[in-house]
Chains A and B, each alone.
Chain A
């Protein structure tokens, strides 16, 4: 049994994992990253449009600050977010953008003077300030009051990932590529590392660590049509779930992105609409203003996706052999803009559709895009249930997105959470009391267990195909747990998934080779994915309200009175086929922004009994603190600064807000 020791084991080599590892390494902790693929191939690369950071450099972002970013984020979440975490996030995001700039990221920069932009389908001339020349530029995105999304053309995630990955190489951080964690080593209280399989040789190894951090991204592949990469299978979620100790939060909160191209579901960025692109129907009619007169195409993603599906249901979709779709029109932006600021979009349209988007409209329909739910953690990134287990990025639920994430907030979250959790992991490792006695007996037990599982798959005489079960799972999820949900379909879906999970215990392989064996990989992964799918579907069935991306046709209202709470799912034991759900109340009396209307979408919701009281309280504090600066006022309403690592508590300088 080969054993590797380290202080910090980071599972996942995308942006969140890389940034966490850099933080831990810089604090002097031995750090190893495990990655399914070379880190630069991670799905972070697919974030095209940009990263939200309230720098306020461009004229349309003037006056932007943490307060506005905070409100946009909380409204976007439909009040599902943890507001303290949202505050920590918005204060750190400008720092993360500036750190990346210093590390070499080629952010698109502001050019002073006049420029033409498209706003609400009109050509408008705006004038950038002289003093903004050469600072990081921002573009418009959905669900935001100001232009806040910092970008690198439309290859933001790619450029960020390369910068962070090269930084990790510069710091000498070890990345064990093509390695996959099969299980966390743990007892009832403490996580000690992972059992890891080398995907080239098939070798099983034990990694023992003081702190183990999951940064494994989303779970899109439980759906059939998803913008997610092939490797986004929710395995990190499953690793935590299978401990039976750690919990997943809000798994029913699943985002569908309005503009997946038809039929393959590849994403074209929200930047298309942010820069002025329009959605059109079969008649060429721009329909979003009919539904959302204020934000139009730039309402939050959950709202735009639902409106699109609603419009298709009215018979306004374009029929094709791949089902119905709508059009995304960016022709009005002009060729120059498309070739400079939307070049990945252009390449995707040329390669996969054979069209030139400067000439023709793009066929789009909402596709699965993002997993808001994740491993439930404290604001420090540590699991409240399993000591020594951390999570960050899409794999985590700490919980800044609630029931809907804003565009540009996920790639921002990866680096922000990486910075914050990297510090807290380091604090954790610094504490003498967190030293571990090497748990060899436990490691051996987990090693034997995982080895046994692989062997029994190889020896199985069952009659089920791993690939077929995977396809069936994706079909069930797409059919029953999509954009519009109802009790009947969800109930049916849950039953079918349970049956599928039982069948998955009978998977047999046609190829018995022990080393590289794609069928074996599919087999053990689909057994894990089914548990994640069940956490999503069962959570959705039980939540009898509509909030953010979770929309129940049979319970169309947001119900703060009954449902202002976070779903926790636990998986207790190998023989069960359902997660155990618990609920964690959100405390309205501690909120900075009590629940209300989001500014787009449905206006009717059922209030929480505390909302009016808290609203009055907040207003009273504002009255009492009148004349004080915004930081002092905010601190009175909901203090958060002491929750941040000391190195990240400072304010952020802006053109209009110099530091004293």
Chain B
């Protein structure tokens, strides 16, 4: 690899830019006169254009009222999940050149709509965290911070991080059949968190405790195994395996009761 690479900047050779047409579902629930409707915008495609760049251009040059959420614009904060041609995904890292020139955008279902493409995933996720107590439960004892940390197996740490990579973007919930039907379903995001804390040797909760949290139709037994969650997860988390594993554990915890 010491030779000079024939690596070109993203996008490759220039050609005539496409004209993209965005069809965006508009609705402002704060405005009594607003009715849900589709609105179209045209944008000339540029090299390396993402939906973040395209939507910013629409807001700055065509329609300053357009609502959406971006924060990191690098695929790590989970703010910008929306329905892209009907499929949940992170808009910031979706390159327009991978899409047809007609692009339909809509807000994620299930979550409370703030306006246009902006939904309140934060409120939903906080509710889920409170309900599932998504933190390590440790023995009540004064922590002596001057002492060395407790040891952890390096492989275990890596396995926990694997599940900890979830960015709470809500894609899995939006793609979930059960979540469409019952609003108290914790979703793959919730079950993944339980699996994560169950794995964590620092957490003192037993299977019985986890059963209390997800051992019913709002948790593992509500899942219909459609697994849209796994298909759309932008972090490619092994949700299918985690849900199956958790369900098996919860069945045996339930039988012991």
Q: Which residues of B contact A354 (CB under 8 A)?
A: 10, 95
Nearest CB in chain B to that of A360: its residue: B7
Summarize B's interface: helix, strand, loop or mixed: loop
Knowing A109-B151, A331-B1, say if A230 contacts B114 (CB, 8 Å): no
* B122 interface neighbour in A38, A283, A515, Cβ under 8 Å: A38
Task: Let me know if A511 is at the binding interface, CB within 8 A.
Answer: yes
A88 and B200 CA atoms in complex are apart in Å by 32
Task: Let me know if B67 is at the binding interface, CB within 8 A.
Answer: yes
- Stretch of B164-172, B175-183, B217-225, B239-247 contacting A (4+ beta carbons < 8 Å): B164-172
> Would you call A37 and B79 a contact (CB within 8 A)?
yes
> Would you call B114 and A363 a contact (CB within 8 A)?
no
Q: What's the least CB distance linking A280 to chain B, in Å?
A: 9
A589 and B134 CA atoms in complex are apart in Å by 50
**Which residues from 242 to 256 on chain B have a C-beta closer than 8 Å to any C-beta of chain A?**
none
Q: What's the least CB distance linking B6 to chain A, in Å?
A: 10
> Would you call A263 and B151 a contact (CB within 8 A)?
no
Nearest CB in chain A to that of B202: its residue: A104
Task: Let me know if A1 is at the binding interface, CB within 8 A.
Answer: no
Task: Convert B57-79 into 0s and 1s, putting 1 for each residue whose CB lies closer than 8 angstroms to a CB of A.
Answer: 00111001111011111111111
> Would you call A170 and B135 a contact (CB within 8 A)?
yes
A374 and B230 CA atoms in complex are apart in Å by 43
Task: Convert B32-75 into 0s and 1s, putting 1 for each residue whose CB lies closer than 8 angstroms to a CB of A.
Answer: 00000000000000011010000000011100111101111111
> Would you call A519 and B65 a contact (CB within 8 A)?
yes
A166 and B194 CA atoms in complex are apart in Å by 13
* B146 interface neighbour in A152, A650, A655, Cβ under 8 Å: A650
Task: Let me know if B206 is at the binding interface, CB within 8 A.
Answer: no
A40 and B170 CA atoms in complex are apart in Å by 13
Q: Which residues of A contact B136 (CB under 8 A)?
A: 103-104
How many chain A residues sit at the interface, stated as a range, is 35 or more
> Would you call B71 and A363 a contact (CB within 8 A)?
no
> Would you call A107 and B157 a contact (CB within 8 A)?
yes
> Would you call B149 and A136 a contact (CB within 8 A)?
yes
> Would you call B114 and A282 a contact (CB within 8 A)?
no
Q: Which residues of B contact A134 (CB under 8 A)?
A: 151-154
> Would you call B74 and A109 a contact (CB within 8 A)?
no
A108 and B145 CA atoms in complex are apart in Å by 19
A518 and B70 CA atoms in complex are apart in Å by 12
Q: What's the least CB distance linking B210 to chain A, in Å?
A: 15
> Would you call A41 and B161 a contact (CB within 8 A)?
no
Q: What's the least CB distance linking B225 to chain A, in Å?
A: 27
Task: Let me know if B147 is at the binding interface, CB within 8 A.
Answer: yes
* B147 interface neighbour in A110, A331, A653, Cβ under 8 Å: A653
Q: What's the least CB distance linking A12 to chain B, in Å?
A: 13
**Which residues from 1 to 21 on chain B have a C-beta closer than 8 Å to any C-beta of chain A?**
1-5, 7-11, 14
Task: Let me know if A320 is at the binding interface, CB within 8 A.
Answer: yes
* A135 interface neighbour in B61, B70, B151, B202, Cβ under 8 Å: B151
Q: Which residues of B contact A166 (CB under 8 A)?
A: 129, 134-135
Task: Let me know if A646 is at the binding interface, CB within 8 A.
Answer: no
Q: Which residues of A contact B153 (CB under 8 A)?
A: 109, 134
Q: Which residues of A contact B70 (CB under 8 A)?
A: 230
> Would you call B65 and A513 a contact (CB within 8 A)?
yes
Q: What's the least CB distance linking B221 to chain A, in Å?
A: 25
Q: Which residues of B contact A262 (CB under 8 A)?
A: 9
> Would you call B157 and A108 a contact (CB within 8 A)?
yes
> Would you call A360 and B5 a contact (CB within 8 A)?
yes
Q: What's the least CB distance linking A227 to chain B, in Å?
A: 8
* A320 interface neighbour in B8, B28, B121, Cβ under 8 Å: B8
Q: Which residues of B contact A511 (CB under 8 A)?
A: 64-65
A200 and B64 CA atoms in complex are apart in Å by 16
- Stretch of A340-348, A400-408, A435-443 contacting B (4+ beta carbons < 8 Å): A340-348
> Would you call B157 and A231 a contact (CB within 8 A)?
no
* A340 interface neighbour in B31, B74, B158, Cβ under 8 Å: B158
Task: Let me know if B150 is at the binding interface, CB within 8 A.
Answer: yes
Q: What's the least CB distance linking B92 to chain A, in Å?
A: 9
Q: Which residues of A contact B5 (CB under 8 A)?
A: 284, 327, 360-361
**Which residues from 333 to 372 on chain A have a C-beta closer than 8 Å to any C-beta of chain B?**
340, 344, 347-348, 351-355, 360-361, 363
20 contacts between A and B (CB under 8 A): A41-B72, A41-B79, A45-B167, A46-B72, A101-B149, A133-B151, A155-B165, A158-B76, A177-B123, A263-B10, A282-B4, A348-B75, A352-B50, A467-B59, A513-B65, A516-B28, A516-B30, A650-B146, A653-B146, A659-B147
Given contacts A159-B161, A283-B4, 20 further A-B contacts (CB under 8 A): A38-B125, A43-B77, A45-B77, A102-B202, A108-B154, A108-B158, A109-B153, A135-B149, A155-B164, A158-B167, A200-B114, A230-B71, A230-B73, A327-B7, A363-B10, A515-B31, A516-B30, A519-B65, A653-B146, A655-B148
